[in-house]
Structure 1
Amino acid sequence: MFTGIVEEVGEIADVRSDGDVVVLTVRAALAAEVRHGESIAVNGCCLTAVVDHEGADVLTLELVPETMKRTSLGAVGGGSAVNLERAVPAGGRLDGHIVQGHVDGVGTLVSRTPGERSDEVRFALPAELDRYVVEKGSIAVDGVSLTVAARYPDGFGVALIPTTLADTTLGARRPGDPVNLEVDVIAKYVERMTAGYLPGSAQEGDAR
């Protein structure tokens, strides 16, 4: 589990194919503390770290076709910046919100309105995710825990504080850029658990 609080912005050092697997090499200071097999969120996508040399400043991550199909990581190349977060330890502080690192869909940055020190940014999201996004609720965008500031017919808006602009990749995102989205997992579980009680549901009788 993650919190959506980005620890570091890493840099893609290499992208290569190994059969049907895409192998990313990421350069980051936190790589020196990552052990082989640990989970790490890369732009909000939970991946398993392959550490070839303990204490090195690079780590290797393997992406299967499912990951390439469901996330924006297929678009990264050498030199791309990526948000990185290690899994939160049991008993650790939950500073953002509950983030699983399971990308629900790929959205698009529609527009950004710079302020004196903050930015208002609008995103479009896949129609099937619309019902999970509520004003003042939580959403992870490229692994960054954000609060939904506004809802629109085709998406949502957020307000980015100076720290988010400086310490994550969202400060450099431009209109048209794809972003990984993870909606609030609690909303998905509530929907699933209450589905049988809704009028017209095939499970309505069983739910009672």
Structure 2
Amino acid sequence: MFTGITEEIGIIRAVRRSACASVLSIGASLVLSDLRIGDSVAVNGVCLTATGKDAGGFTADVMHETLNRSSLGRLVPGSRVNLERAMAADGRFGGHIVSGHIDGTGRITARRQDGSAVWYTVEAVPTLLQYMVEKGSVAIDGVSLTIAAVTETDFSVSLIPHTAGVTILGGKRPGDVVNLETDVIGKYVEKLLRPKQGTGPAGGITLEFLAGNGF
């Protein structure tokens, strides 16, 4: 589990690709302090397992499913990435619940300055936007952000100068692809409210169904 608070920006040192997977070598310093082989690290919001470690960084395998659902397949040597170690049990929960399991990608369509803040509009498919609500949470490249507005085709967020400065988001431009993880709570609530096959009303739970069952 992660909180969406980036600890440091890492640099891709090398990418070794095979037919259906990749191995990333990531330069880092802060996250290495207590990192052990087998530990989880969020790389641009994607939960990866450290498979090797040296004085200047660590390596991680990226499987086919992860490459299909995220933007990690676009990384090249020199790419900058957001890094966050798994949350410690005695740590402060500064962001929101982030699993590191990417739901899909979005594309930045607009960037504008608003005083000291930077606004981004991100285009996403309806199956992701259905879990987004105004003033709710979303993780973009692993960064916990508050959703300022949602439409049928996109959503908008505003970055304070600190967030723009200590993550890779400050350098994003229209056309860039970003990893998206929607709020996990919304997905669990949706499944719990959806009747099992063969039970409940065909159209889902409605006011009429609740009234007819004593609610």
TM-score category by the smaller chain? over 0.9
Report the CA distance between 1:38 and its aligned residue: 0.2
Normalising by structure 1, we get a TM-score of: 0.92
Contact residue 194 and residue 204 of structure 2 kept, 8 A: no
Percent of residue pairs bearing the same amino acid type: 47
User: In the alignment, does 2:37 pair up with 1:36?
Assistant: yes
1:21 corresponds to: 21
| Aligned-residue offset at 1:160 | 0.5
| 2:5 corresponds to | 5
Q: CA deviation at 1:21?
A: 2.6
Q: What are the superposed Cα offsets for residues 70-97 of structure 1, whole Å, 9 maximum, x if unpaired?
A: 1000001000000000000123211100
Q: Secondary structure at the match of 1:148?
A: strand
- Tell me if structure 2 keeps the 8 A contact 1:104–1:182: yes
The one-character-per-residue Cα deviations of 1:121-167 (angstroms, maximum 9, x if unpaired) are: 10011221121000000000000000001112201001100001100
SS at match of 1:51: strand
Tell me if structure 2 keeps the 8 A contact 1:49–1:59: yes
- Which amino acid is 1:200 matched to? A
TM-score (norm 2): 0.89
Gaps of 5+ in 1: none
Query: How many residues were matched structurally?
Result: 204
Equivalence for 2:93 = 94
* Conserved? CA contact 2:9–2:166, under 8 Å: yes
Alignment correspondent of 1:170: 169
- Structure 2 stretches lacking a partner, 5+ long: none
* 1:84-123 alignment, distance < 5 Å: 84-123=83-122
Q: Distance in 2 between matches of 1:115 and 1:155?
A: 19
Displacement of 1:18: 4.6
Q: How does 1:1-208 map to 2 (within 5 A)?
A: 1-18=1-18, 20-29=20-29, 30-53=31-54, 56-196=55-195, 199-201=201-203
CA distance in 1, matches of 2:201, 2:78: 52
SS of residue paired to 2:130: helix
1:37 is aligned with what amino acid? G
2:97 counterpart SS class: coil
SS across alignment from 1:129: helix
* Aligned-CA RMSD value: 2.0
